[in-house]
Structure 1
Amino acid sequence: MPVRTDHRRRPPARLTAALVAVLAAAGCTGGTEKASDGGTPGRLSVLSLGPVATWDPQRLSAPQDIAFAGRTIIRTLTAHPAGPDAAARREVVGDLATDAGTHDKTLKVWSFTLRDGVTWQDGTPVTCADVRYGVSRSFGTPFATEGLNYPLAYLDIPRKADGTSTYTGPWQGAGQASYDKAVTCKGSTVTFRLSTPMVDFNQVVALPVFAPVKKANDRGAKDPYAVFSSGPYQLEGGWDPNAGGTFVRNPHWDRASDPIRKAGPDAVEYVEGTESQTAVQQVINDEGARKRAVTLDSAPPAMQQHVLSDEGLRKRAINPTGQFVDYLAPSAASGVMRKPEVRKALALATNREGYVTALGGPSAAEPAYSLIGPALPGHTGADVVGAGATGDTARARTELAASGLTLPVRIRVAYRSTPTADKAMAALRNGWEDAGFSVQLQPVEKDYFETMARPGQTRKTDVFWANWAPAWPSASTVIPPLFDSRLNLTANGTGRDLGGFADAKVDREISRISTIADPGAQATAWARLDASLASQGAFVALAQRRSMFIAGTSVTGLSANEALGGFVDLATVGVG
């Protein structure tokens, strides 16, 4: 899944001014009841650096923003439930739809029937036509290039030679007949016809790109922050890209029609432009309105240790697994990495514990041996190479000697450079050099993935650092995007298969697994393929990232949902 992976920054002076403006507005609104601490009863504040690029469902792509919008203003055909049972949250249930959908035996025709009583913020019902129109917008400009492109990828609509759709959205009109065949309405039932079998398509429609839009209220691309809500909250006034906005109760939201959202707060104030360290410190201080606040960005590792060392703060914090798994991808074009003994030696000598310690310790990450994270069906955590958390340099040296190469074996390792990453990669280098490698690190500060995917890069680098996050809780959003050579390898580069891995047998196995109708059997098959790829050295998993969020003392029901990327789940949060 394309994901926003950069650390977002804004000029500190502007941040300070924005934050002061929001706080001043919160304390000076006439005619509103105030709590004894100066805040507003029932109002939750969420603190985030941002920036939020859009609230338009067909333009949303940032996982954190999707997690927020999906619990407050956007309802989708299906959704992941909230609650303490992590395994149950992997499966979707009906949200706008009465259930998780039905499919035919080919897995290429999926239908969803809308439940009664779901309305827009103006009281009009959400209809099947609204769903059709919303999905159609994803093919238009600029939605086709800004949002998630799953309708383009999966709906049975012809494409041009360059991969773009012959359907150009509801405004230009080209290819309308093809869209009308792919997405149809019969009463309150919407049916999607797919170009490929998908057992987990009902998880795809939980994403906002498949959300309904009321045509009469559509402002197109004019206002990326225009919000016409189908959820429990609606935007009051407008959205300030420098400060945020306030979401108040949608008077037409019917709790009986919504099996997902408790919608505890009367209002949700989104304070944008707050550095994570500042936000955490404000909530730790627990003063004024920050007693009813929660952080949406993970606490920096140094502050995580402070929180964990204080019992009172620890009770106000959660530490879920996050989106990303860090891993290494050996280059298939590298002379040394073509040798299986060298790839195995690299895996055996990898000190995951040292890497995790450099990232900030167990609250920031945990050792990983698989690309299928703990939030996904099929996760086992098995160490198929047998390196252990600290690596086995003695076995690694033996494997390296068996390659026939002269030791030390020189390897070039590229990675995205940050102060923390520099320390983490140095920790890995120490283990590799103990095993007989001579390591040249290649730090890249800007445009890392774009640079590493360029044609010819696999001949300049022997090992690539990378990370990946699933688009929904299925290994089908992990293994194919990274290792299906048919998706990645072109004359323009390697895509997200940075090492240029290509194996026709693996490609065929990916196709076979994709047609397995039983979700459990499919998850098991993905796990086997993941283990096979690890054992042959196609990747070396490093660490599963973790996040830490903290809330004020008046916040109740704080939880994270790993099915939503490990972010705070606002479906359960309340204020006391």
Structure 2
Amino acid sequence: MSGFGRPRRFGVCAASVAAVAMASAMSACSLLPGGSSDDSSAPRNVSTYDEAQDAKAKAPAAAVQDARSGGTLHVLSSATPHTFDPTRVYHLDTLAIMRMVTRGLTQTKYVKGKPVLVPDLATDLGRPNADFTRWEFTLRDGVKYEDGSPVKAADVAYAIKRQLAQDELSGGPTYGLDYYLGGDSYKGPYKSGDDFEGVDTPDEKTVVVKMRKPFPSMRYYTSLPTFTPIPKAKDTRDDYGNHPLATGPYKFGSYDPGKKLVLVKNPEWDPKTDPNRHQYVDQMVFDFGLDTNEVQRRVIADKAEDQTALTYADILASNYDEIRGTDARRRLVTGPSPCSNYMWMDTRKIPLEVRRAVARAWPLTSENRAGGEIPGLTWRPATTIMPSATPGWQDFDVIGNKGEGDGDPAAAKKLLTDAGQLGFELSFYYSSDDELEAKIAAVRKKALTRAGFTVKTMAAPSSLARDLSDDSIRPANLRQGSWCMDWASGDSVLPAILDGKKADLPGAPVPSFLDVSAVNDEIDRISDLPAQKALTAWGQLDKTIMEKYLPAVPLGEGGTTVLHGSRVGNVIIDSVGGMPDFSQVYVR
């Protein structure tokens, strides 16, 4: 999944906490650096634990201690979502919001601070065959849409077919292209009709998904909103994201795209069908496109309506310094995040030797200072594409900067000169109405110019930032982004963002546009391996890609910080989603 905000198709970061499903017990795994309240830098430490699963988790969820019902939660965001279509949402913030509105087949619940995969719309975690090429799910009784109509298996099947309509619904997860039987040829219901061999519905409660190769991680994939049921008759295509049909505890009350979303209680949601979510607040009001510093200053001040507000952008260093030792510091919740950040280089336009020069010149220290990052809390160095918490991750440093520092402009200029590319033009977009983005853009332009590049910065409003990032034909040859593991395995990283067979798809799912048969073939080979054997192979492929092709400059891993008002209770960070779990929050 993608990040958000100031680099989110990337913006926050670190590594997801759902574990890869192993070929037998489907448990296992290593994961995220734990949250911390101090600022000490922890550059490469990886903690491990066993990922739990509870296929028999009971509904309703146990009440949150001291929780109250009623009131309005105000969510203040500097990010600007570009869609709420459940097939297309794939940024941390929109995923977190949609988990309140829509329901997948499975979901993550936190038990004593640890993530546990539990059923959602399904009665269990899915029933695979011996080689994980067939998965069967049974829907719960009593689940309804916001209009009172019942959820049917055919609606889940239609949602699965919709995932493959890449020409019309770009930007969402693309695992179906890789795994579903027929997923490499079926073009979605709009172009290919309803006849898709990858999914069957033997009755109104049963969904059977068939694969053309083993997919042991399927039960994690089904936790994403892209599996929320959508009745074919209610699919309004381009307009569906303006009011997706709710199955969760909240539904759209009103939506002003790019500016404000109001969620209100969904009276048709039955807590007896949901082992995790709650419905404490009367409504949630999301304001988008706000200034990061202004929002944080408001929540720190804790006045009037802002006492019932929270914001999830990385806390700025200046504001963090100010709240040390104050009551506001106790209102800052910190934890891990599932993302790594990158500057992707368009390999169609930038030759390899020039890419090496870009990497040598990159001003990591200065851009982090300009962006208000806090080492050890909101930022940690990275030298790889796979997050360091990925099982099978290998520690290597192809660029030779240890993931930090301000680059070596003299060495970069020599590389350009030797390649006959002195003055090579680099171009990138930045959000002109975001003060921090403008500062970072200026730092980058200065450093790259010193290294012998010609640099073209292109200003655009933040409301267009995600669309520009997702557009493969825009003139920029540098694209900032992040990738957040959907589950803890290399098969939710490298195939998703570096399989060249998807390089020309709408939505730029391969942001470097790297399309090399040796890489594509190796991705296919590793995908066919047993899960345990694949772990090491993904790490080796990561190293090979960086050594031979260098499609990106790793910008760092990070953490999640949520600052909230004094009347907001039970703020829990979803370490799988890198966001607050809105389903657990209440207002005093």
The two structures have a TM-score, normalised by structure 2, of 0.71
Tell me which residue corresponds to 1:506. 519
C-alpha displacement of 1:325: 0.8
- Superposition pairs for residues 203-214 of structure 1, below 5 Å? 203-213=220-230
Q: Is the 8 A contact 1:317 1:550 kept in 2?
A: yes
Tell me which residue corresponds to 1:550. 563
Residues 364-409 of structure 1, C-alpha deviation per residue, up to 9 Å, x if partnerless? 5332112222564445665455432445979995x99899939996
Residues 316-353 of structure 1, C-alpha deviation per residue, up to 9 Å, x if partnerless? 12345364512353847766718xxx93x765665533
- The CA distance in 2 between the partners of 1:274 and 1:113, in whole Å, is 40
Structure 1 counterpart of 2:385, from 357, 366, 371: 371
- Superposition pairs for residues 513-528 of structure 1, below 5 Å? 513-518=526-531, 520-528=532-540
- The CA distance in 2 between the partners of 1:46 and 1:209, in whole Å, is 23
Q: Is the 8 A contact 1:58 1:208 kept in 2?
A: yes
Structure 2 counterpart of 1:107, from 132, 136, 143: 132
Q: Percent identity?
A: 22
Residues 43-91 of structure 1, C-alpha deviation per residue, up to 9 Å, x if partnerless? 4332346766665534545541221121x22111012333565xx64x7
- Superposition pairs for residues 93-492 of structure 1, below 5 Å? 93-116=118-141, 118-121=143-146, 126-136=151-161, 144=169, 154-157=179-182, 165=187, 167-168=189-190, 175-176=193-194, 178-179=195-196, 182-186=199-203, 188-213=205-230, 224-226=241-243, 228-235=245-252, 238-239=254-255, 243-248=260-265, 250=267, 252-255=269-272, 257-261=273-277, 263=278, 265-273=280-288, 275-277=290-292, 278-296=294-312, 298=313, 301=316, 304-306=319-321, 308-309=323-324, 311-320=326-335, 321=337, 323-329=339-345, 331=347, 337=353, 343=356, 347=359, 350=362, 352-362=364-374, 363-374=377-388, 376-379=390-393, 382-383=396-397, 386-390=400-404, 397=411, 405=418, 412-417=425-430, 418-426=437-445, 428-429=447-448, 437-446=451-460, 453-454=472-473, 464=478, 466-470=480-484, 472-473=486-487, 474-488=489-503
Q: Is the 8 A contact 2:74 2:310 kept in 1?
A: yes
3-state SS, counterpart of residue 157 of structure 2: helix
1:563 counterpart = 2:576: yes
C-alpha change, 1:53 and 1:535, in structure 2 (3 Å) is closer
- The CA distance in 2 between the partners of 1:326 and 1:280, in whole Å, is 25
Alignment length, in residue pairs? Answer: 511
- The CA distance in 2 between the partners of 1:561 and 1:570, in whole Å, is 9
3-state SS, counterpart of residue 583 of structure 2: coil
Q: Is the 8 A contact 1:401 1:407 kept in 2?
A: no
Residues 217-276 of structure 1, C-alpha deviation per residue, up to 9 Å, x if partnerless? 7677666444543223345x5545564324226365124x32222x26242321435624
- The CA distance in 2 between the partners of 1:537 and 1:307, in whole Å, is 43
C-alpha displacement of 1:206: 1.8
C-alpha displacement of 1:451: 11
- The CA distance in 2 between the partners of 1:101 and 1:443, in whole Å, is 48
Q: Is the 8 A contact 1:158 1:166 kept in 2?
A: no
- The CA distance in 2 between the partners of 1:403 and 1:240, in whole Å, is 47
Tell me which residue corresponds to 1:35. none
Tell me which residue corresponds to 1:535. 547
Q: Is the 8 A contact 1:356 1:424 kept in 2?
A: no
C-alpha change, 1:100 and 1:524, in structure 2 (3 Å) is farther
Matched letter for residue 126 of structure 2 = G
Q: Rg bigger for which structure? A: 1
C-alpha displacement of 1:214: 5.0
Matched letter for residue 207 of structure 1 = L
Residues 480-534 of structure 1, C-alpha deviation per residue, up to 9 Å, x if partnerless? 34433333269x9x9565666454332222111112332x543432222212323
C-alpha change, 1:381 and 1:284, in structure 2 (3 Å) is farther
C-alpha change, 1:411 and 1:562, in structure 2 (3 Å) is farther
3-state SS, counterpart of residue 73 of structure 2: strand
Q: Is the 8 A contact 1:249 1:266 kept in 2?
A: no
**Structure 2: unaligned runs, 5 residues or longer:** 9-67, 431-436
C-alpha change, 1:155 and 1:495, in structure 2 (3 Å) is same
C-alpha change, 1:575 and 1:249, in structure 2 (3 Å) is farther
Per residue, is there more helix in 1 or in 2? 1
Tell me which residue corresponds to 1:32. none
C-alpha change, 1:498 and 1:167, in structure 2 (3 Å) is closer
Residues 14-34 of structure 1, C-alpha deviation per residue, up to 9 Å, x if partnerless? xxxxxxxxxxxxxxxxxxxxx
Matched letter for residue 302 of structure 2 = D
- The CA distance in 2 between the partners of 1:350 and 1:307, in whole Å, is 30
The two structures have a TM-score, normalised by structure 1, of 0.72
